[in-house]
């Protein structure tokens, strides 16, 4: 079957505004899913560590981050333009109370969806301005993921752990090339090494380009001439197919457990 024939065949499947509708739904489902996983981790932590107090927050204010920074060094945490500025990671923030009654972060989670090519191909939807492409050139919205990572790094500058889980999902985050079948039985490849498709490289500065799909909750210290520097790496989980709520829950629980282990070691 020629490419032209395929195009004519699949064009009939396009529904009005289908593409953006699908994108919106998927992104929302993904966000809600990490929120549910996070809520479930919160409940499990309360059960497993009954002697500790936990709390769950949807947001942290910039004011609070500034106060923390300023308590570490007087030069830091001085600038705030909009009083009510806050950050809102998709899966919220889970904290535990230490023996000095201070709240310490044990888990922050975000979920980002980008690239709905697999869904479009399966549905036989063509995309692009003229609705004649099988694949959409990837966008760069994912680069916004760094903001909250940098905010939480600052908030946890005096800690030995950085429990930040990022779940990337969608055709822009395929870790291997995927064959997706069209309604007519032919397939389209979503390549993991295509500059037009893959956007994982736009996120990996957040984990110093270490392997992805690993728990980096424990900070790494590396020698720096006469001193040492602390690396706070995000734990980046990426793939084309949707993360299931239960998979996210397990990964997040593992990271929260690592946090508590590190906090306990410190006494």
Q: Which residues are catalytic?
A: 90, 110, 112
Q: How much of the chain is in helix, strand and coil states, percent to nearest 5? A: 40, 20, 40
The pattern of x and - marking residues 46 through 85 that bind its own copies according to CB under 8 A reads ----------------x--xx--x--xx-xxxxxxxxxxx
How many residues sit in the footprint of its own copies (CB under 8 A)?
Answer: 59
CA dihedral 78, 99, 148, 163 (to 10 degrees): 140
Tell me whether residue 151 or residue 245 sits nearer to its own copies (CB atom): 151
Under 8 Å between Cβ of 70 and 76: yes
- Using CB under 8 A, which of the segments 23-31, 100-108, 114-122, 204-212 binds its own copies? 204-212
Q: Does 211 bind its own copies (CB under 8 A)?
A: yes
Output the CA torsion sign for 25, 27, 29, 35.
negative
Burial zone of 95 (CB within 10 Å; 0-12 exposed, 13-18 middle, 19+ buried): buried
Q: Does 101 bind its own copies (CB under 8 A)?
A: no
Q: Is 219 helix (H, G, I), strand (E, B) or coil?
A: coil
Q: How far is the CB of 140 from its own copies (least distance, A)?
A: 6
Under 8 Å between Cβ of 100 and 81: no
Under 8 Å between Cβ of 106 and 56: no
Q: Which of 25, 48, 209, 241 binds its own copies (CB under 8 A)?
A: 209
Strand partners for 131: none
Q: Does 137 bind its own copies (CB under 8 A)?
A: no
**Tokens 């779940």, residue?**
167
Q: Does 39 bind its own copies (CB under 8 A)?
A: no
Q: How far is the CB of 138 from its own copies (least distance, A)?
A: 10
Interface ranges with its own copies (CB under 8 A): 62, 65-66, 69, 72-73, 75-85, 140-141, 143-144, 146-147, 149-151, 153-154, 157-158, 160, 175, 192-195, 198, 200-202, 204-212, 220-222, 224-225, 227-231
């Amino acid at each position: 079957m020629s490419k032209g024939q395929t195009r004519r065949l699949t064009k009939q499947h396009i529904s009005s505004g289908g593409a953006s509708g699908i994108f919106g739904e998927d992104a929302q489902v993904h966000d809600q899913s990490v929120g549910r996983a996070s809520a479930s981790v919160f409940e499990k932590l309360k059960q497993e560590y009954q002697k500790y107090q936990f709390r769950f927050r949807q947001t942290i204010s910039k004011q609070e981050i500034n106060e923390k920074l300023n308590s570490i060094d007087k030069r830091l945490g001085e600038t705030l333009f909009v009083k009510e500025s806050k950050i809102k990671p998709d899966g919220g923030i889970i904290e535990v109370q230490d023996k000095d009654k201070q709240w310490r972060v044990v888990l922050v989670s975000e979920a980002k969806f980008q690239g709905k090519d697999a869904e479009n191909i399966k549905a036989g939807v063509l995309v692009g301005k003229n609705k004649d492409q099988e694949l959409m050139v990837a966008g760069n919205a994912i680069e916004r993921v760094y903001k909250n990572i940098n905010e939480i790094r600052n908030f946890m500058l005096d800690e030995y752990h950085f429990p930040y889980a990022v779940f990337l999902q969608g055709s822009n985050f395929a870790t291997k090339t995927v064959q997706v079948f069209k309604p007519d039985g032919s397939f389209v490849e979503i390549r993991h090494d295509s500059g037009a498709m893959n956007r994982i490289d736009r996120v990996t500065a957040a984990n110093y380009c270490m392997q992805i799909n690993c728990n980096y909750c424990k900070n790494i210290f590396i020698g720096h001439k006469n001193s040492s520097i602390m690396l706070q790496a995000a734990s980046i989980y990426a793939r084309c197919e949707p993360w299931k709520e239960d998979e996210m829950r397990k990964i997040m629980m593992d990271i929260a457990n690592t946090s508590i282990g590190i906090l306990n070691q410190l006494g």
